[in-house]
Amino acid sequence: MNIRAQIHTQNILHNYDVIVRKLGKDKIIAPVVKANAYGLGAVEIVKLLEGKKPLLYYVATLDEALELRPYSKADLVVFGGLSAGQEDYFIAHNIIPALKSEEDMRLWHEAAKRLGRPLPCHIHLDTAMNRTGIRARGDSDSTFYTRGLDVRCILSHFVSSEETDTPLNQEQIDHFLSRAAQYELAYDCAIVKSMANSSAIFNFPESHFDLVRPGGALWGVEMQAGQGDDLKPALQVDVKVLQVSDIKTGQSVGYNELYRAERPQRIATLAIGYADGLHWPASNQASFYWNGQPCKIAGSVSMDLTTVILPQDLSDDDMPRAGEYMELIGDNQRIETLAQACGARAYEMQISFGNAPRIVAKYL
């Protein structure tokens, strides 16, 4: 095995408990397990979290929900809403759409009318993201369709919940509450409300409302340094050394001569490349670690291989050898640090590793 990826399940359970303590027991925790649980394996994560008995999970697509349905009796809610022709799949498999448009509302309302019973749904309001979600101008039509539906939650998404100094966060909260009140008036009942994602859980307690939606926080990913510093990273990645070589002053390493040695150096070639999720912009930027010492990438990250400079002060006996492993993500380097060196986001990088076909994770 060239790349050892380990997922520390006890850290995920620890992070879940951290969130519970942060919120109190009166809040509903709805884990977000879309994109294969951010690359960690949605089926395994759901099976793990079943011991915590969450009432619902959020996913991005109907296909993701169908994959998880055999492993949980909890509600499965699809952020992407529904499309015409999908109604029977949602109904047959007890999957709940987060209705994102007036058209979604109409389709689900007509399906409920056809069956002669209310159908469960969440309602997704766009409060500034401008991607999906019902816009304010669509509220008057959409509130009509709440009649005959089982509206279980109204939700929205923050634009910048990891940033504490932008006024947009409070503007979104106020906008959300004002619009949610219209739906509650039309529905003639209080409705569970949700805005807080992982960052908002730690940064904006006023946005906790009834239900929170942690994703990255469960995996111990910080969107900003010190944000949830009691969270523990779930993912560890170590990479096999294939070869150790000496290069002379002036010699280049890898494609396109991106690195040229200014003195005699020893390099290690590692069995990982951009096909395995290590982004090309890590070239000459990011580091691996050998016995706690950083080893900077030398030259270009290629499809299958990456080369690093070994510390000058290592004796021959302390040098890594072919077949040994160097740390990429672990005690010495969090995924956030690696992602920053690659010009990426931690979520993006974790999903890249998780979806790489040559990486098979082990659950500890």
Q: Catalytic residues, which ones?
A: 34, 255
Separation between Cα atoms, residue 317 and residue 246, nearest integer Å: 15
Backbone angles phi, psi at 237, to 5 degrees: -135, 125
Classify strands 119-124 and 95-99 as parallel, antiparallel or unpaired: parallel
What is the DSSP annotation of 140-204? Answer: HHHHHHTTTEEEEEEE---S-TT-SS-THHHHHHHHHHHHHHHHHHHHTS---EE---HHHHHH-
Nearest residue to 95 (alpha-carbon basis) of 118, 125, 123, 61: 61
Distant-in-sequence, close-in-space partners of 102: CB < 8 Å, separation ≥ 6: 134, 138, 141, 142, 145
Cβ-Cβ contacts under 8 Å for 358 (sequence gap 6 or more): 2, 3, 275, 276
Length of the chain equals 364
Query: At residue 270, what is the residue type?
Result: L
Give DSSP secondary structure letters for 61-117: SHHHHHHHGGG--SEEEETT---TT-HHHHHHTTEEEEE-SHHHHHHHHHHHHHHTS
CB 5 within 8 A of CB 359: yes
Which tokens hold the place of 13? 């359970």
- DSSP string of 13-62, one letter each residue: HHHHHHHHHHH-TTSEE--B-HHHHHTT-HHHHHHHHGGG--SEEEESSH
Distance CA 346, CA 217 (A): 11
